[in-house]
Structure 1
């Protein structure tokens, strides 16, 4: 009898051990499947992020090529790159040539190669845009290059190009209608924008601190700056066929002055419109994370 009981006990023990082993094996297999699934998902996401990053980098590069094309002429064009290693020797020579034409004090502020590239590109674009006005009203610098006095300024901080236009060029006093003589300038910008569908454009209106004449249809400084920014956007879209989804208009009112409002010269500088060209910044910033 004892022998039978012992044999039964052994069978139960073996059976129980077999069940435990099978259970552990099933758990291990399930865990392995979960790990493989997670790994597969992460690999797919990594591949997607890589493809998106490459696509966005290509967009920025294409945008930079459009800015490159906007510069004045082939002799002085400067490549826009992430660092000096991507610049050709010809482009470096062009950059040095352009910097020699500029104000030495401004050039002295360039601390890095990228700073120098930005200055040279901005100078070239400014000269190119100045040409849009024709010969009237332009002065020449010591090198025979046209300068629009207190009218047009370009700054570059890769990948953003910011163009500041004095409102005396764009609008008559007390008006929110864009002057026809500035249409060639706006058209040149429109052609650039249309050539790059991923480019975004922010038009900002600025005013001085002088209150708008009471009863004017311009309302107050906030509204006047807004109306003028919208007028530029409507011109880009309505006359020069820029896609509306690439454009945005905003008002800064009198709250972003670049000069003192106590003098007529300072107030004139504060009355301005800025047009900022950039690749799709939401996507661009996502790429930078």
Structure 2
């Protein structure tokens, strides 16, 4: 029976095949080849896709594991900072207080140094200006007096103070406190310069040598003589040359501030002198300090 079935099938196939034209057979074979090739290509792509998917999954898994590890590390750091946040803030606060205190102290020190430095500079500037005023006064006095012998009159600046030394030989006769006519001319020239400086105050000092005074009952000693000579000059300046008396002081220094030895005649002559001292005006000096620079 089975043999019969196979025989019938072969006969049927042969009959069917005999009924199809060779052209159609070739077309069918070509179509089959195309379909089979497409099928094989699709299978290969499928295998490639499966492999790529596996590779991508592995890379993704590796990256994911790396990121998860880094996230865990960062999380641990955040937890550590949170745990120690209070202590850190406290330390920073203490540090801030210390730094602020130190900074304030340093700033105050710098301010004090700056203020002192500025004051010193202002003081130096004021002293320089005062010295300039003194030198101008000296030049005016020397110009007004002219070419008198320095032994008779000497004008100088010593330690910021102006001194006018006039010898007794020019001012007075021996043992006298009466001002000579020639001396009045010299005093008039000095007064002209002093009147041009109405804010200046000065002291007239009388000085003697060490020879004891022998005179009338009005004067007892060199103290009296030195004072009387000073007051004689002050009266001349006030009465004849209109210098305000409030600007002047009369003083006697007797023999106790010599400028030379009393062992010689020349030394004694140098010690017998009347000195006009231009008094330093401290209030005016400090006004110089208060005056802004550049004004």
1:51 aligns with 2:122: yes
Offset, 1:220: 0.9
* 3-state SS of paired residue (2:274): strand
How many Å separate the matches in 2 of 1:45 and 1:257? 39
Offset, 1:12: 8.4
**1:272 corresponds to which residue?**
273
Equivalent pair of 2:166/2:273 in contact (CA under 8 Å): yes
* 3-state SS of paired residue (1:273): strand
Residue 38 to residue 257, structure 1, CA distance change in 2 (3 Å)? closer
Please, which of 75, 94, 106 is the counterpart of residue 35 of structure 1?
106
Equivalent pair of 1:223/1:251 in contact (CA under 8 Å): no
* 3-state SS of paired residue (1:185): helix
How many Å separate the matches in 2 of 1:214 and 1:70? 35
Residue 214 to residue 280, structure 1, CA distance change in 2 (3 Å)? same
Q: Deviations over 1:8-34 (max 9, x none)?
A: xx9886434422320220221122122
Paired residues for 1:1-289 under 5 Å: 14-72=85-143, 127=147, 130=148, 152-154=152-154, 156=156, 162-179=163-180, 181-196=182-197, 201-213=202-214, 216-237=217-238, 239-242=241-244, 244=246, 247=249, 249-253=251-255, 256=258, 258=260, 260=262, 267-268=268-269, 270-277=271-278
Structure with more helix by fraction: 2
How many Å separate the matches in 2 of 1:262 and 1:71? 29
Give the paired residue count: 204
* Contiguous gaps of at least 5 residues in structure 2: 1-80, 290-295
* 3-state SS of paired residue (2:213): coil
Residue 57 to residue 223, structure 1, CA distance change in 2 (3 Å)? same
* Contiguous gaps of at least 5 residues in structure 1: 1-9, 74-124, 131-146
- Of residues 29-38 and 12-21 in structure 1, the stretch that sits farther from structure 2 once superposed is 12-21
Alignment TM-score, normalising by the size of structure 1: 0.53
How many Å separate the matches in 2 of 1:197 and 1:45? 33
Offset, 1:255: 5.6
Larger Rg: 2
**1:92 corresponds to which residue?**
none
Residue 247 to residue 196, structure 1, CA distance change in 2 (3 Å)? farther
How many Å separate the matches in 1 of 2:140 and 2:251? 25
Residue 46 to residue 212, structure 1, CA distance change in 2 (3 Å)? same
Offset, 1:39: 1.9
What value does the CA root-mean-square deviation take over the aligned residues? 4.1
Offset, 1:47: 2.4
How many Å separate the matches in 2 of 1:252 and 1:281? 27
Alignment TM-score, normalising by the size of structure 2: 0.52
How many Å separate the matches in 1 of 2:269 and 2:133? 36
